[in-house]
Each structure stands twice: as structure tokens, then as C-alpha cells.
């Protein structure tokens, strides 16, 4: 009985360990030749096609909300001239990677988990292994790299769309002056803010693809198993991405001093 309780209590540790071991397998397979270029391009195209439009649509209100919120707050402080800078900082450092993460996990990750899960229950993955082909090398590595690449570019897109959205709302709705908004861009924001945003996007793409692939490849028990795998992969990815975002932001704020005046 006691061993049963212990094994129950330790089950999450085991699950985390298996996920990590899977990530190591992927890392090892990623350096193996030949690289699956075709699959990589197809997957990158596929992930981009399911994420670009929703991401752009999410980015506009995201940028707008930040502009409204920050604009209102800053007005109370009487520092309207910094509105542009503050909203750029917020969009590039936080909103862009988070928006990317949501879409990569929600649209890209769920598609990967569903695809691999369906292959798993149709025994396609078994068939592949029996044909002497490692599915991690053939299917997972291209997906992980494609997801990272797409996340990287999506992050750039969210930044641009978000900042543009913020500009429109600030200028049109809050009577900000276009010149002041644009001129203050570099007052508080600095280049490393952009780097950390892009770095976060890469990490988020990696985590989302690894979790989705792991869940998909371990789906079991018929069509319901695939549904469960997709559901779990999205939830787990969200949790991990927000934790990762928190940790990366903390480290960044410690390492890179904020720009003064």
C-alpha cells in the first residue's frame, strides 16, 4: 500500500523525467545526418499557414490594449512624451513573445500533437520504426526546428503589428502626437529588448513543439486518446511557456540594466 502511494506521489516526477528524456532524444537526433530538409520546409510552411492570420489578428488588439492602458496611466503621471517608448517596451519584451507563445501552442502545437497522435494510433509510427526509420529523427526534429523558426518570425510580426496598432490607437483615440510617439521609441527601449524577445520566441517554439510531439507520440487508446493528447499538450505547453517567460524575464532584467533617460 505504501509503495502504491509513493508511486502515485512520484508519478508527476516520472512524467517530467520522460518528457525531458524525450527532449534529449530530440537533441541527439537533431545532429544526425541526413537532415530532413523537405519535411522541415513542409512543416514550417504548414505551421506558418495555421498561425499567421490568427497571430496578426491577436496582435492588433494586444497592441491597442497596451497602448490604451499605458497611455492612460502615463497621462496621469504627466509623461505623455514617453507613451511611445513605454508601449514599445511592453510590446516587444512581453506582449510579442506571449502572443507568439499562445498561438504557437494553441494552433501549431495542437496541430502537431493531433498529427503525430493520429499517426500513432494508426500504427504509422510503429510501421516507420519497423521500416528502420527513427520517427524522432524523421518527423519530430523537423517539426521542432520548424516551430522554432516560425515562432521567431511570428514574434517579429507581432512586434510590428502590435507597435503599429499601438500607434494608431494612441494617435487616433488618445490624441497623442505622431511625432512624439515615434520619437520616444528609443528613449526607454534598447536593442537587447528586441534580442530577448526573439530569444524567448525561440525557446517558446522549442517547448511547444517538444511537448506537442511527446504527447502526440505517446497518445494511446484510439481516437479519444488523440483528443486527450492534444488537450494535454496545449495545457502543459501554456503552463510551461508562462513559467519560462517569467524565468527569462527575471534573468534578463537582472542581467541587462534598464536604459536611463
Partner 1 sequence: MGVEIKVDDLTKSFGKQLIWGDVSLTIPAGEICVMLGPSGTGKSVFLKTLIGLIKPDKGSILIEGTDIASCSEKDLYEIRKLFGVLFQDGAMFGSMNLYDNVAFPLREHTKKSESEVRDVVMEKMDLVGLVGSEDKLPGEISGGMRKRAGLARALVLDPEIVLFDEPDSGLDPVRTAFLNQLIVDLNAQIDATFLIVTHDINTARTVPDNIGLLYHRHLAMFGPREMLLSSEEPVVRQFLNAQKVGPIGMSEEKDADELAAEQGQELPPLPPIPMQLDPSNGVPRRSQRPPGEWCAAHGVTPPPGSFESSNAGLAPGA
**Residues that bind partner 1 in the complex, under the rule CB under 8 A:** 118-119, 122-124, 126-134, 138
Choice between 10 and 129, CB closer to partner 1: 129
141-168 and 191-217 are packed helices; what angle lies between their axes, rounded to 10 degrees?
140
Q: Give the Å distances, CA to CA, from 256 to 64, 72, 243, 259.
A: 27, 28, 20, 9
Choice between 121 and 248, CB closer to partner 1: 121
Q: How far is the CB of 124 from partner 1 (least distance, A)?
A: 5
SS3 28: helix
Give the contacts of 250 (CB within 8 A, at least 6 positions apart): none
Q: How far is the CB of 127 from partner 1 (least distance, A)?
A: 4
Choice between 1 and 130, CB closer to partner 1: 130
Q: How far is the CB of 155 from partner 1 (least distance, A)?
A: 29
Choice between 25 and 228, CB closer to partner 1: 25
Evaluate whether 140 touches 217 at the Cβ level (below 8 Å).
yes
Calpha distance 92→160 (Å, rounded): 9
Calpha distance 83→183 (Å, rounded): 10
Q: How far is the CB of 119 from partner 1 (least distance, A)?
A: 7
Choice between 90 and 111, CB closer to partner 1: 111
Q: How far is the CB of 89 from partner 1 (least distance, A)?
A: 43
Amino acid at each position: 500500500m505504501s509503495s502504491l502511494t509513493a508511486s502515485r506521489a512520484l508519478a508527476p516526477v516520472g512524467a517530467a523525467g520522460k518528457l525531458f528524456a524525450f527532449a534529449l532524444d530530440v537533441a541527439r537526433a537533431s545532429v544526425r545526418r541526413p537532415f530532413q530538409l523537405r519535411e522541415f520546409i513542409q512543416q514550417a510552411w504548414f505551421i506558418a499557414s495555421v498561425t499567421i492570420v490568427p497571430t496578426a489578428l491577436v496582435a492588433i488588439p494586444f497592441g491597442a490594449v497596451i497602448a490604451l492602458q499605458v497611455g492612460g496611466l502615463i497621462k496621469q503621471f504627466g509623461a505623455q512624451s514617453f507613451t511611445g517608448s513605454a508601449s514599445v517596451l511592453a510590446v516587444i519584451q512581453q506582449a510579442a513573445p506571449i502572443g507568439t507563445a499562445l498561438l504557437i501552442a494553441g494552433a501549431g502545437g495542437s496541430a502537431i500533437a493531433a498529427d503525430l497522435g493520429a499517426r500513432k494510433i494508426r500504427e504509422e509510427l510503429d510501421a516507420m520504426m519497423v521500416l528502420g526509420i527513427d520517427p524522432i529523427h524523421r518527423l519530430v526534429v523537423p517539426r521542432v526546428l520548424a516551430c522554432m523558426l516560425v515562432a521567431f518570425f511570428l514574434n517579429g510580426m507581432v512586434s510590428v503589428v502590435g507597435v503599429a496598432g499601438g500607434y494608431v490607437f494612441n494617435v487616433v483615440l488618445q490624441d497623442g502626437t505622431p511625432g512624439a510617439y515615434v520619437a520616444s521609441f528609443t528613449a526607454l527601449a534598447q536593442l537587447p529588448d528586441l534580442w530577448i524577445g526573439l530569444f524567448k520566441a525561440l525557446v517558446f517554439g522549442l517547448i511547444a513543439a517538444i511537448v506537442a510531439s511527446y504527447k502526440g507520440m505517446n497518445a494511446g487508446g484510439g481516437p479519444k486518446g488523440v483528443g486527450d493528447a492534444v488537450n494535454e499538450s496545449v495545457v502543459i505547453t501554456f503552463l510551461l511557456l508562462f513559467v519560462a517567460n517569467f524565468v527569462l524575464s527575471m534573468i534578463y532584467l537582472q542581467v541587462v540594466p534598464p536604459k536611463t533617460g
